[in-house]
Amino acid sequence: QVQLVQSGAEVKKPGSSMKLSCKTSDYTLIRHYSHWVRQAPGQGFEWLGVINPTYGTTTYASKFQGRVTMTTDTSTATAYMELTSLTSDDTAVYYCATAQRDDLLTGSPGRWGQGTLVIVSS
C-alpha cells in the first residue's frame, strides 16, 4: 500500500525553525494537494495549510501566515513544511496528508503520514 513517510522526531529551541518532510513511494500521489495538520498534546487537530503541487500555490491558516512555508519537490515525491519562530505552543505531532480530492474546499485530508513529533523546549 502506498505510504507517506515523514521525517523523524525533532527537539527545537524556542525562536528556531523546523522543516519537516513527507515522502511518498507513489510519484503520482505527490502531485495531489497536500495538507499539513498538527495535534498538540491533549488537544484536537489543527490545520496549518495545504499546497497545490501542480502550481506550487498554497493556502495557509491565518494563524500561521508569515510563519509557515509549504513546498513540494515532485522529482523526489517529497512535500516539506517549514515553520519559523517556534515557541512551546508549537510542540505537537505534525502530520502530512494527501487530499482525497484536488479541491481546496472539498478535498479533505485523505491518506495520512505517520506523524512527526516536534518538541520545542529550551
Partner 1 sequence: QPVLTQPPSVSATPGQKVTLSCSGGSSNVEHNFVSWYQRLPGTAPRLLIYDNDKRSPGIPDRFSGFKSGWTATLGITGLQAGDEADYYCATWDSRLAAWVFGGGTKLTVL
3-state DSSP assignment of residue 42? coil
Does 25 contact partner 1 by CB under 8 A? no
Q: Is 108 in the site for partner 1 (CB under 8 A)?
A: yes
Query: How far apart are CB 93 and partner 1 at their closest, in Å?
Result: 9
Looking at residue 62, its amino acid is S
Identify the residue among 40, 61, 68, 117 touching partner 1 (CB under 8 A).
Answer: 61
- What the block records as the C-alpha cell of 14 is 524556542
Shortest Å, Cβ 72 to partner 1: 18
Question: Would you give the binding string for partner 1 spanning residues 69-98, x where CB under 8 A is met?
Answer: --------------------------x-x-
Where on the chain is the footprint of partner 1 (CB under 8 A)? 35, 37, 44-47, 50, 59, 61-62, 95, 97, 100-101, 104-106, 108-115
